[in-house]
Structures are given as structure tokens and as C-alpha cells.
Chain A
Amino acid sequence: MSSATMTAPADKKSHSLALMAGILLVGLHVAIGLLTLVWLPYDPTAMAGGRLEGPSLLHWLGTDRLGRDLFTQMMIGSRIALIVGVGAVAIGAVIGVTLGLLAAFASKWLDDALAATLDILIAFPTLLIAMLVVAASDTANLWSAIVALGIALSAIVARLTRILAKRVLVMDYITAARTSGSSWPKIVAIHILPNIWPTLSVNFALQFGLAVIAEASLSYLGLGAPPPNASWGRILQEAQGTVYTAPLGAIAPGIALVSLAIGVNLLADGLRDAIDPTRRAR
């Protein structure tokens, strides 16, 4: 028996395990985020107990320095993180894929100009670009942060899309589609986008994690959404003064961030393998 047939089942199993873990982690955050729309354990803005209480049955993660329930804030944080991740990636994807395709189809000098511009933009950290965009808009709120992150991410998406689309454009099946009279918009829709999608979607998952972490950083710097709909970054910021007496305020947002970022990546990897017929067969 060949080694390929020996390892295939194990591979498949670890793949589906990863997919399951991704579904569980993301599903947990989505469930909590949805729940916050209809129910919260405590009013997030009101004192729910004493200041800086430790974890108890009443307050699972304790309370902050104003006596607000930390678990309630963390739940809201899940919702905010999902909105930020989905929103920023959606904006980044629409702008980035459009620019990337334009560059792939553009005449040589325009393509070179776009590619150089993108390279320069990517050289700046996402967070820095986002900070500049937020600073340029006069109010710092959740939406300005999302738009800023989306714009910052779009450069990365555009560069990747451009490279992937150029690779697909030289394929024989594109020439074949052209010889059968297919128009460019149609070719983009049915051949190019589906063929770059598997790689793009995995990249979107990475960007989702990036966006959530970057928003936390913006919030930490006071450039994100103001309370009461605070993100994990804001919780972290507020907890930093009391990190030795109430470390959960700093630990919980960190764990939540990492679990969501990992979950989304596992989910995207698993979904790509499930979508791609050439991978599925293996």
C-alpha cells in the first residue's frame, strides 16, 4: 500500500477536527454575540457589585474598578469583535479585490503604478494606517474604526488579488473561455473569482484576526468605540491600572481575542478544504 493511501485518512481526520474546533470557537462567540442583543446578565454601565471583586457565582469574572460585571462586558466584546472583524474584512475585500483585479487587467504602466503604491501602503503597519484614518475623521467611534481598518486591510487584499488573478489569467482555460466568446466580466465571475477564492478566503480569515486585534489596539489607545459598547481592547485598557489586584480584567480579553482569531483561521482552512474539489478528493 502506498504511503498516500496510508496517511490520507489520518489527514482527513485532523482536517475535520480542525474544522470542528473552528466551528466551535467561532460558534461560541457568535452565540454569545447574538445573545447580548436580547439578554445580558447585568447592566454593563451600572455598578453590579463591589469594586474589583474576584470571580464568584454571581460575577463569573469578577467586577472592574467601577463595580461593573466583567463577564457582561466580555460578552458585549464578542459582539463588537465580530462586527469589527466582519465589517473590516468586508470593506477590505470589496475595495481590495476590485483594485487587485483592476491592476491585473490594467495596462503595464498602470499596473506597475498600482503595484508600487500597494507595496508602499503595505510597508506601513495596518494599525498605523488605521490610526491615521481615524485621526482624519473627527469622531472616534466603532464605525470609524471599522472603516479605517477596512481601508488599511484593502492594500493587503489588493496585492494578493492582483498576484492570484495574474496567475489565473495566463491559464489555458481562460484562453479557452475567450476563444468560445466569453466576455471578460463573465470570465472574472465564473473562472477568476472562484479560482482565487480558496486562497483569498484563508487570507480573509487571517485579516479578520488582524482586524480584531488592531481594533483592540485602537481601543486601547482610546481611538476605538467608547463605552458602554466597549471592545476587549477597552476592557484591557481599563484593567491595566489594576492588573496586579484583578488580573482577570487583562487575561480574559487576551484569551477571548486569541480564541476568536484562531477559531476563524481554523474555520477558513477547513472550509477551503471542503470547497476545493481537488483537495477534497485527496
Chain B
Amino acid sequence: MTALLSLENLSVHAGSKPLVSNLSFSLNRGERLGLIGESGSGKSLTSLAATGLLPAGLSASGSAILAGKQVIGAPDRELNQLRGTAVAIIFQEPLTALDPLMRVGKQVAEPLARRAQRDGTPFSGTALDQAVLALLDEVALPDPQRIAKSYPHELSGGQRQRIAIAMALACKPDLLIADEPTTALDVTTQAEILSLLDRLVRTRNMALLFISHDLPVVANTVESVVVLRQGETVETGNVADVFGNPRHDYTKSLLAAARRLDDAMEGRA
């Protein structure tokens, strides 16, 4: 079975400065992998490099094979065919990830129409509207009719992230990359979004690359983890093994920090 995403010695550089170094992992259909590390450790750059969207000034080397295609060095036109088909990304900040001047229903319709077009079954008009409402319903947004007509600033943070998730689902991706999808949300909303993601990934049998700095969040969502520090892989393996028996000091310190936070939260409650 060929992997959906397979990184081999992937490195990202800014000039001569390494930002991600020799990262390797692979993900098959239905698998859920966590990429963890503190802020600035190169998690987001990894997901951008894997989809060929590194900002100007950064370069990638090594190998990143997405849906059977080598991403590194491929022309943008070819990669664009993979994006929104093989892979979709959900970002951390749902407010800025949505166009402030476009009704959210239209923003969901956009990737939906493109995917249908690519599948050779283009649709528009009422059929498209119906599909948008069905997606909003699938991400458990109340009153989809009203929400579809709203602008992003009229929705709550959690509702916006559900829209972003609906936009990702509209791509019917084999691989979903979620880049700190709950970091900008309050704790209750965080839990809701996590369980929504968990349910969607399972029912649609997608692979999930879950990026987070928050260990408890990752632990409940994924099967295996890769721990990054300053672009270097410090530990990888099954969630229970890595968290139950961390071998590297960095992983231990991340765990200790998470536990302290947990204790503090419980102490307050």
C-alpha cells in the first residue's frame, strides 16, 4: 500500500539557516498522526512544504511524496491539482482564514464546486446551495440557512472554525492537515471542535495530520506522534509509548508543562 503522504529527509531552509531538518514519516489512509513541538519548532512549515506552499524565500529539500507525486521541485500547476483534492488544510486562526467580505456559504461553495468540476460532475445553482447546507449541517452548525448568509465577523470563533472545517471537507480530501485547529478557541469550544474532527475523520476515513503544541489535545486524537524541536525530530512512535515512557528530555519537559497546566486548571475548578 502506498502512503498518502510520505516525507523522507525533508528539510526546509531560509537561506543557509535550517528551519526543519531531515524529517521523515509516512501516513496511510485512515491513519492519524500528531506533529508536536513548541511554537516555532517548524510544524507549520512542514505542512506548507508538504503541499508546496512554502513562502517565498524558503526552500525545501529531500522528498515529500503526496498522493504518489513528488512535491519538492514540482511546478505549481501540478501541485494545484493535488491541493483541494488529495489534501486540505485547516488553520489555527479561523477569523483570518476566512475572507471578511464574502458570505461564508459562498466560501464553502467555492472548493465544493471546484472539487465537483475536477471529478467531472460539475454542479451549480440550487444543487450547489443544497450541498453547502448539507456540509454546514455535517459540521453541526445550527440553522445552516442563516449561517450560510452570514459574514465571518458575524459568527463566533467556534462557528468560524466549523466553516473552515466545512471548506476542508468540501475538498473531499484523502488527507486532512489540521494546523493547531483549536489553539485560538476557548476550552469548551476546543473540546467540541476536537470531537467533531475526530468523528469526521473516522466517518470519512481520512488520514489526519494533527499539528499542535498541546499534548493532551494530541493524545486523544491521534495514534502516533512525531516530536519536533527546532526543526529536529527528537522522538517518534505510538502515542501511548511516547507519552507513557518519554525517552527524550524535551518530550518530558513538554509533558511536565502540560501536566502542570492540567493541575492548575483542576485546582482552579
Residues of A within 8 A of B (CB): 108, 171-173, 175-183, 190-191, 194-195, 276-278, 281
Q: Is the CB of B96 within 8 A of A172?
A: yes
A175: chain B residues at CB < 8 Å are: 53, 91, 97
Which of A177, A180, A182, A277 is packed against the most chain B CB atoms within 10 Å?
A180
Q: Is the CB of A278 within 8 A of B100?
A: yes
User: In chain B, what residue has the closest Cβ to A171?
Assistant: B96
B171: chain A residues at CB < 8 Å are: 180-181
Q: Is the CB of B102 within 8 A of A194?
A: yes
The answer, yes or no, to whether B83 is at the interface (CB within 8 Å) is yes
Interface string of B85-128 (1 = CB under 8 A from A): 10111010100111111100000001100100010000000000
Q: Is the CB of A180 within 8 A of B84?
A: yes
- When A178-B53, A179-B84, A180-B167 are in contact, do A277 and B101 touch as well, CB less than 8 Å? yes
The answer, yes or no, to whether B151 is at the interface (CB within 8 Å) is yes
The answer, yes or no, to whether B51 is at the interface (CB within 8 Å) is yes
Q: Is the CB of B99 within 8 A of A179?
A: no
Interface size in chain B (residues, C-beta < 8 A) = 33
Q: Shortest distance in angstroms between B14's beta carbon and chain A's nearest beta carbon?
A: 15
Q: Is the CB of B114 within 8 A of A180?
A: yes
- When A179-B53, A180-B167, A278-B151 are in contact, do A173 and B97 touch as well, CB less than 8 Å? yes
Interface string of B22-42 (1 = CB under 8 A from A): 000000000000000000000
B247: chain A residues at CB < 8 Å are: none
In the bound assembly, the distance between CA atoms of A277 and B102 in angstroms comes to: 9
A190: chain B residues at CB < 8 Å are: 99, 102, 110
Q: What would 23 A/B residue contacts be, using CB atoms closer than 8 Å? A: A172-B93, A173-B96, A175-B53, A175-B91, A176-B167, A179-B51, A179-B89, A180-B111, A180-B171, A181-B82, A181-B83, A181-B85, A181-B111, A181-B171, A182-B84, A182-B111, A190-B110, A191-B99, A276-B101, A277-B101, A278-B151, A278-B153, A281-B153
In the bound assembly, the distance between CA atoms of A245 and B141 in angstroms comes to: 75
5 smallest CB-CB distances across A and B, nearest first, come from: A181-B84, A180-B84, A172-B96, A180-B111, A181-B83
In the bound assembly, the distance between CA atoms of A205 and B85 in angstroms comes to: 43
Interface string of B134-178 (1 = CB under 8 A from A): 000000000000000001011000000000100110110000000
User: In chain B, what residue has the closest Cβ to A275?
Assistant: B101
In the bound assembly, the distance between CA atoms of A179 and B171 in angstroms comes to: 10
**15 additional A-B residue pairs with CB within 8 Å, beyond A195-B101, A277-B153:** A178-B53, A178-B83, A179-B51, A179-B53, A179-B88, A179-B89, A180-B84, A180-B88, A180-B167, A182-B111, A183-B80, A190-B99, A194-B102, A278-B151, A281-B154
In the bound assembly, the distance between CA atoms of A177 and B80 in angstroms comes to: 11
Q: Is the CB of B114 within 8 A of A182?
A: yes
